[in-house]
Structure 1
Amino acid sequence: ILHTVLHKLRKTAMAEPPVVIWEQEVRSLLHYRDLIPSLEVALGKFSSRDSAEVIQPVRSTIPLQKHSGFMGLMPTYMERDGILTTKFVCFYKRQEGSALPAVQASVVLLDPENGNLKAVMDGEVITATRTAAVSAISAKLLMRPGAEVLAILGTGKQAQSHYTVFTEMFSFKEVRVWSRMREGVERFIQSVGGPVKGCASVEEAVRGADVIVTVTGSTEPVLYSQWITPGAHVAAVGACRPDWRELDDVLMKDAIVYVDSREGAMTESGDIILSGAEVFAELGDVINGSKAAHRERTTVFKSLGMGVEDAVSAQLVFDQWKDKK
């Protein structure tokens, strides 16, 4: 017994001090070619509901009423993979043209055996990258073959990360973008370094589009069913609160709706809660083969983001950082 106690004390005492991995280094270490296969495996594990694979409660939130925001806490434990993480993320409803960030996030990686902190890393890059990667996975599974036109509603960081991964993974002939502010569209076109058509209205952007990504800060619907070509795929990323919307009721009820987490969607998604739409499946169900991918129908993937996505991303960053060192 004494030997065991001393061994554990020695291990704790010898634990290396936590590392801090800043934004630019996270960006240099996190690549879609590595992340997407890891996320597909993680989504399948989550949907298997095996507690030895993933333990992830629904995100808990604290309102920041004075600042028109809220803080979310997203812990995850992957027992078989030996990954224990928590993300702290603050969301804000900013005024148009505000210079303040809409999202701020940090991810902490811990040793599940000892409980000591292994790393603290920038969470904004992880959030933007893994969210875009999961949206791309949804398109890979659900968009119809031969898709040619991509429309992006929104021009913030999530719009940029989605543009990057969607143009890397797929061969769209045309990419369109819309924002409420013309300056946002111009800034987006200049920043992405690829061919993009700026659109003056949502309808102009989505008419005839095969894939539509909504990454707006809207609290009311901006995308309406009558503008969408039957069989289009929508990756709905904004509206992460139960009283926020991006899509109208008709679209939500007519489409086949997929989510990352059923529990999360029924708690946090205003698009689902307020429309009364039925959730058909999680992406992990499609990956596991337990639910069908209805490519021939109009599909909506409602993304809310999950702790397991952050956990896989953070572990990948940490492993890459160790290899680099």
Structure 2
Amino acid sequence: MRRDELKIFDSEAVASGLDYPGCIRIVSEAMQALSAGRTKQLLRTMIHMGEGRTFAQMPGALADDDMFGAKMISVFPDPARPGSRRHRGVVMLFEPDEGRPVCIADAEEITHIRTAAATAVGTDALARPDAKTLLLVGTGGQVRTHLQALPLVRDFDRILIWGRHPEKAQAIADEEGARVAVPIAVAYDLQTACGEADVICTLTGAKEPLVFGDWIRPGTHVNLVGSSGPGPVEVDTPLVAKSRFIADSRASALDAAAEFLVAREAGAVSDDHIVAEIGEVLLGQIEGRRTAEEITIYKSLGHAVQDLAATAHLYRSAPEQ
């Protein structure tokens, strides 16, 4: 490859080149580096382009002597799936010696895989070791990647999928069943499924709570993934209030973690309810789960350093053309 040539990864190249075990390891390292202050990133900035349409920018650097760059994405309604939105864009990487751009990767596929990897990191750190039942709430693209990532960190013996349209959940179960070595079933009643689950992942575009504190049994771990900005919430305030609440970034959670912000506005929690960043838990600085009965929440907002670390891993591991 010429010195000034860009490596370009389309969605197929990202999907084939970014392996889940490697991405889980890379994201874990990135979150530890973030909490240790070794990375640099700005809070996500968003330009609203009309109803339901957003252009977002996420710049960052893995270190002074490592890759830096940005993710730029549009979040627009998906005409093929009414009520849902797609994240389209690019991740741009620069090398640290001369500041040359060296890589462009499809941001939608990077986001799908690294988000699932981040959920796996949070689950591995916070869920009970004996967790056996996984519940995925939603039927969008994130469900498929979470089906690949979560069984890598816990020995589940059952996976449940709930969606507003059971036929969509059934289609995912049928299509993914051959790739996932765990029985997958459709959950027709969300309250019942929540009461059976050891690990719950909310992966929806819901604007109002779908999952309620009264439904969650002691010892459950909940990953809040679907809402990435103020406004839409996937769970209610009582669940937030009674949980041990851990975020991927404290600064980002105080700015954009919708479920936490709603609970704080209601007076149910204060800023110190965010007890830790997941990186602090991984570094052993703050305890994650303290008891088998504790309800834990991992709030995933997604960060530039996750995208950059995943893309850098893809770039460095790709064969020369």
TM-score between the two structures when normalised by the length of structure 1: 0.89
Does the 8 Å contact 2:254/2:261 carry over to 1? yes
Partner of 1:188: 172
CA distance in structure 1 between the partners assigned to 2:75 and 2:194 by the alignment: 27
TM alignment of 1:56-95, pairs within 5 A? 56-66=41-51, 68-92=52-76
Partner of 2:99: 115
Post-superposition CA distance 1:164-198 (Å, at most 9, x none): 11123321111101011123112211221242110
What amino acid maps onto 1:176 in structure 2?
Answer: L
1:292 shift after superposition:
0.3
CA distance in structure 1 between the partners assigned to 2:274 and 2:205 by the alignment: 23
Does the 8 Å contact 2:123/2:153 carry over to 1? no
Partner of 2:286: 291
In structure 1, the residue corresponding to 2:196 is in which secondary structure?
A: coil
Partner of 1:167: 151
Structure 1 residue 208 and structure 2 residue 196: aligned? Answer: yes
Does the 8 Å contact 1:143/1:295 carry over to 2? no
CA distance in structure 2 between the partners assigned to 1:218 and 1:98 by the alignment: 13
1:295 shift after superposition:
4.7
RMSD: 1.9
Does the 8 Å contact 2:77/2:84 carry over to 1? no
Measured at CA, do residues 170 and 220 of structure 1 come closer, stay the same or move farther in structure 2, by a change above 3 Å? same
Partner of 1:11: none
What amino acid maps onto 1:312 in structure 2?
Answer: A
What amino acid maps onto 1:205 in structure 2?
Answer: A
In structure 2, the residue corresponding to 1:35 is in which secondary structure?
A: helix
1:79 shift after superposition:
2.6
Partner of 1:244: 232
Partner of 2:26: 38
Measured at CA, do residues 35 and 97 of structure 1 come closer, stay the same or move farther in structure 2, by a change above 3 Å? closer
CA distance in structure 2 between the partners assigned to 1:121 and 1:149 by the alignment: 34
Aligned residues: 307
Partner of 2:220: 232
CA distance in structure 2 between the partners assigned to 1:290 and 1:168 by the alignment: 25
Post-superposition CA distance 1:133-156 (Å, at most 9, x none): 111111111111211110000111
Q: Considering only CA atoms, is the larger Rg found in Structure 1 or Structure 2?
A: 1
Partner of 2:275: 280
Out of 128, 131, 134, which is 1:147 matched to? Answer: 131
CA distance in structure 2 between the partners assigned to 1:99 and 1:211 by the alignment: 26
Does the 8 Å contact 1:231/1:295 carry over to 2? no
In structure 2, the residue corresponding to 1:102 is in which secondary structure?
A: strand
Does the 8 Å contact 1:215/1:238 carry over to 2? yes
What amino acid maps onto 1:314 in structure 2?
Answer: T
Does the 8 Å contact 1:93/1:217 carry over to 2? no
Measured at CA, do residues 316 and 180 of structure 1 come closer, stay the same or move farther in structure 2, by a change above 3 Å? same
1:230 shift after superposition:
0.8
More deviation, 226-235/177-186 = 177-186
Partner of 1:218: 206
Out of 6, 15, 18, which is 2:6 matched to? Answer: 18
More deviation, 214-223/97-106 = 97-106
Does the 8 Å contact 1:244/1:269 carry over to 2? no
Structure 1 residue 136 and structure 2 residue 131: aligned? Answer: no
Structure 1 residue 179 and structure 2 residue 166: aligned? Answer: no
1:291 shift after superposition:
0.5
1:102 shift after superposition:
2.3
1:255 shift after superposition:
0.1
In structure 2, the residue corresponding to 1:155 is in which secondary structure?
A: coil
Partner of 2:258: 270
Measured at CA, do residues 254 and 132 of structure 1 come closer, stay the same or move farther in structure 2, by a change above 3 Å? same
Partner of 1:313: 310
What amino acid maps onto 1:234 in structure 2?
Answer: V
In structure 1, the residue corresponding to 2:26 is in which secondary structure?
A: helix
In structure 1, the residue corresponding to 2:41 is in which secondary structure?
A: coil
Does the 8 Å contact 1:57/1:76 carry over to 2? yes
More deviation, 263-272/80-89 = 80-89
Post-superposition CA distance 1:275-312 (Å, at most 9, x none): 11421100001011110012521000010000000111
Does the 8 Å contact 1:149/1:175 carry over to 2? yes
1:253 shift after superposition:
0.5
State the percentage of identical aligned residues.
Answer: 27
